[in-house]
Amino acid sequence: MQKIKPLDHAILILGALFLCLPVVMALMSSTQAAIDIHSNGLYITPGSEGAATYGKVLTQRGGFTGDVTGLLMLTNSMIMGLGFAVGKIVLSMMAAYALVYFRFRFATLMFWAIFATLLLPLEVRIMPSYQVMSELHLLNTYTGLIVPLLASATGTFFFRQFFRSVPDELLEAARIDGAGPVKFFIDVLVPLSKTMMSAIFIIMFIYGWNQYLWPLLMTTDESFFTLMRGIKSILQVWVGSQIPDYNEAFALAVLAMVPPVAVVVIFQRMFIKGLTESDK
Amino acid sequence: MAHLSLTNVGKTYGGSTQPAVAGVDIEIADGEFIVLVGPSGCGKSTLLRMVAGLETVTRGDIRIGDTLVNRLDPAERDIAMVFQNYALYPHMTVRDNMAYGLKNRGESKSVIEERVAEAARMLELRPYLDRKPRALSGGQRQRVAMGRAIVRQPAAFLFDEPLSNLDAKLRVSMRMEIRKLQKRLGTTSLYVTHDQLEAMTLADRLVVLNGGAVEQIGAPLEVYRRPASTFVAAFIGAPAMSLLDARVDSGQVMLDGHALAPVAHAPGPITLGLRAEDLRITDAGLPMRVDHVEELGAQRIVHGMVGDQSLAVVDTGDATLAGTVRIAVAPSKVHLFDSTTGRRIEAAAQPAPVPAE
């Protein structure tokens, strides 16, 4: 075993504490009363208002229409994150399958065209995308929120590389075993891609969860608000007398952190496997 | 169970003018074990893959049984294939690996179960049925791959260098197993290998391929004893047959000024083939300068030079050899080949006609 060097550990522990501190502060502050935060600044010790605050942000109706609860926003964010992750995996897997296994003209060119879009951030195409959605009357729908962002160069790239590493004999064995293209995809490639899929799932779920600009444009109906928007609107709308509800904003921020953390914790082992190990 | 017939089968890859396989004719009887053997790039795998349906056929006809299969899908050809790297589905258990093809064919559950059980019993795989391939050793994986072929009860087995990934010892025992299994099932088999020893021990008939064309088809011993060309002569047998430039002069094969065997052939240059195991060291005969000696235990192979040409001789003695030794050969064991075409000259075997008087 390697010798434990106290200094190295001290540095690592210090770094870890430093990175954790803001999260801890947010969590602790969310359990204090708004007025205390306002007068004393942020807390690193737990307060007594926790249960009440979280209960309030999850259930209290707010917004102009008075219909938006924290729970609804959490659900919206969840739909957005899951829709993104699942949709992107399905779409990019199928795209990669076509690119790798079907010999058609310009397949490589097409791949590089897809790959080049990696260089373009969402903001570049946000206006045309908005216009298309608007003309299709898909504003303020989940479809409109999710579908335009589903095409994923990253996912296609990862799956393409993965499929190329699958030995050709496997396809040949499957052909002799009477598996057609669809059967081969579902019976062999999908199960083989499990680790890859979970790696992409994590990345894409968090990407979808954290979307801010796109939902901001696409949704004017408050019942489609996601948590990311909600945090902002809480600060604006639920202002009691003069003091902003810092505690509620913090509580919502903490709630917004929970699902991505959960996803990472659940998929982490497969995530690391997917990125490092080829299981063939 | 069926016979297999390849008629003038050829394959030219797109973008290439040189055919990878050129006009191959092979008739394979029902239950026969045919081994395609040749060096890398001779087209043997391509030929096998054409029979399997994994490569398109650009010329000629392939028939399995009485069906012309040129345009059929691999799954419709009623064949099973064993791959060099096993090609097992890594995420399926041994049982599922074997059952997959049958499931796709729509066999009933009970039939599948019965056939998998039978194959597992035959291949001694029963303890491993619920394992994944990665938990198996190389030999076991190869057995699973064979099990997957057996359960389909195909008209023909196709083997694509199935033993190349195994270590030497396992290869020998698996070779035996494959042979026994094939005899027992009586299924027509086509087996590709580059290992001439594997080819010799497995085959009912050998097909020696070179540059996409058939050099010789025949029973292993026939190919060994009467190689049809210098290529076959050098390829089959270990150590390789020594091929030397010689001359025919006044009815005798002359090498380095020594007459070796009488022959009925016109005088002129000729290629002489001598198998190391047909030569012996004696007191009189062809002089050979000893170069080096390979000790194999049971025997040793003496490499030396006759004139400026190299020659190998099998010797069982254990005296130290140095300097020059004398080599003798029975006239009937001399192989002669045309020095330009490399084809066998049959006159070699018969002694020159001796006048009656």
Percent of chain B with pLDDT over 90: 60
Query: For residue A1, what are its two tokens?
Result: 């075993």
Asked if ipTM goes beyond 0.95, one says: no
What is the number of other CB atoms lying within 10 angstroms of the CB of residue B356?
Answer: 4
Binding-face residues of A in 175-204 toward B, CB within 8 A: 175-179, 183, 187-188, 191-192, 194
Task: Kindly state whether A166 is in contact with chain B, defined as any CB-CB distance less than 8 angstroms.
Answer: no
For residue B67, how many other CB atoms are within 10 A of its CB? 14
**Which residues of chain A have a pLDDT value below 50?**
238-239, 279-280
- What was the pLDDT predicted at A243? 67
Q: What's the CATH code of the domain at B265?
A: 2.40.50.140
Nearest 5°: the CA angle B282, B287, B293 is: 75
- Reported confidence tier of residue B347, pLDDT bands at 50, 70, 90: low
- Indicate the residue among B231, B265, B296 that finishes a domain: B231
> Does B114 share its domain with B257?
no
Phi, psi of B123 (to 5 degrees): -100, 5
Query: In this structure, are B205 and B297 located in the same domain?
Result: no
B245 lies in the same domain as B201: no
Asked if residue B311 lies in contact with residue B327, where contact means CB atoms within 8 angstroms, the answer is: yes
Instruction: Dump pLDDT digits (tens) for B118-138.
Output: 999 999 999 999 999 999 998
Q: Is the Cβ–Cβ distance between A70 and A59 less than 8 Å?
A: yes
- The answer on B343 and B276 residing in a single domain is yes
Q: Do B87 and A173 touch (CB under 8 A)?
A: yes
Per mean pLDDT, which range of A56-65, B63-72, B211-220, B264-273 is the poorest? A56-65
Condensed to tens digits (0 to 9), the pLDDT of residues A222-273 reads: 788 888 877 776 666 544 555 677 788 888 888 888 888 998 888 887 777 7
Q: Identify the CA nearest to B230 among candidates B250, B244, B247, B213.
A: B244
Q: Is it the case that residue B281 has pLDDT exceeding 70?
A: yes
> Per the structure block, which two tokens stand in for B132?
């994944």
pTM of the predicted protein model: 0.80
**Chain B contact probe: residue of A166, A176, A193 with most B CBs at under 10 A:** A176
CA distances, A88 to each of A59, A97, B259 (Å): 32, 14, 81
Q: What does the DSSP 8-state code read for residue B135?
A: G
Clarify whether residues B256 and B312 are in a common domain.
yes
B355 located within any domain: no
Is A144 part of a structural domain of the chain? yes
Position A56 in a domain: yes
Q: Please report the pLDDT score of residue B1 as a whole number.
A: 62
Is B283 part of any domain?
yes
**Radius of gyration of chain B from Cα atoms?**
24
Task: Give me the numbers of helices (H) and strands (E) for chain B, helices first please.
Answer: 8, 20
B354 falls within a domain: no
Measured CA to CA, the distance from residue B185 to residue B203 in angstroms comes to 15
Interval B243-262: pLDDT, tens: 999 988 888 888 888 888 88
Rounded to whole angstroms, how far apart are CA atoms A36 and A58? 21
Residue B220 within any structural domain of the chain: yes
Nearest-neighbour CA in chain B from A279: distance (Å): 8
Residue A1 lies in a domain: no
- Closest chain B residue by Cα to residue A280: B90
Question: The CATH number of the domain where A117 resides is what?
Answer: 1.10.3720.10
- Bridge partner list, A62: A68
Which residue, B231, B260, B287, sits at the end of a domain? Answer: B231
Across the interface, do A191 and B91 touch by the CB < 8 Å criterion?
Answer: yes
Q: Is residue B353 part of a domain?
A: no
B293, B195: one domain: no
Give the residue-averaged pLDDT of B228-235: 93
Task: Please tell me the predicted confidence (pLDDT) of residue B145.
Answer: 94
User: Residue B58's domain spans which residues?
Assistant: 4-231
8 Å CB contact of A177 and B100: yes
Domain limits for position A12: 6-276
Query: Number of residue pairs across A and B with CB atoms under 8 Å?
Result: 60
Is A165 a domain residue?
yes
Q: Which residues in chain B have Cβ-Cβ distances shorter than 8 Å to A173?
A: 81, 83, 87-89, 148
Tokens standing for B277? Answer: 């195991």
Q: How far apart are CA A274 and CA A161, in angstroms?
A: 12
Same domain assignment for residues B147 and B265 = no
CATH number, domain at B163? Answer: 3.40.50.300
Q: Tell me, yes or no, whether B191 and B52 share the same domain.
A: yes
Last residue of a domain, one of B171, B200, B231: B231
User: Based on the structure, what is the number of domains in chain A?
Assistant: 1
Confidence of residue B353 (pLDDT cuts 50, 70, 90): very low
Residues B227 and B261 in one domain: no
One domain for residues B50 and B110: yes
Which helix (H) or strand (E) covers residue B206, if one does? strand B205-210
CB contacts of B86 in chain A (<8 Å) are 169
Q: Could you tell me which of B198, B212, B110 has the C-alpha nearest to residue B162?
A: B198
Q: Based on the fold, state whether residues B56 and B82 are members of the same structural domain.
A: yes
Number of domains in chain B: 2
Q: For residue range B150-197, list pLDDT tens digits in order.
A: 999 999 999 999 998 888 888 999 999 899 999 999 999 999 999 988
DSSP character string of chain A: -PPPPHHHHHHHHHHHHHHHHHHHHHHHHTTS-HHHHHHH---SS--S-HHHHHHHHHH--BSSSS-B-HHHHHHHHHHHHHHHHHHHHHHHHHHHHHHHHS--TTHHHHHHHHHHGGGS-GGGGHHHHHHHHHHTT-TTSHHHHHGGG---HHHHHHHHHHHHHS-HHHHHHHHHTT--HHHHIIIIIHHHTHHHHHHHHHHHHHHHHT--HHHHHH--SGGG--HHHHHHHHHHH--BTTB--HHHHHHHHHHHHHHHHHHHHHHHHHHHHHHH----
Establish if A229 belongs to a structural domain: yes
Cα A4 to Cα B263: distance, rounded to the nearest angstrom: 85
As a whole number of angstroms, the distance between CA B245 and CA B229 comes to 15
More confident residue, B113 or B323: B113
Q: Are residues B195 and B55 located together in one domain of the fold? A: yes
Query: Is the torsion defined by CA of B335, B337, B342, B344 positive or negative?
Result: negative
Does B348 have pLDDT greater than 50?
no
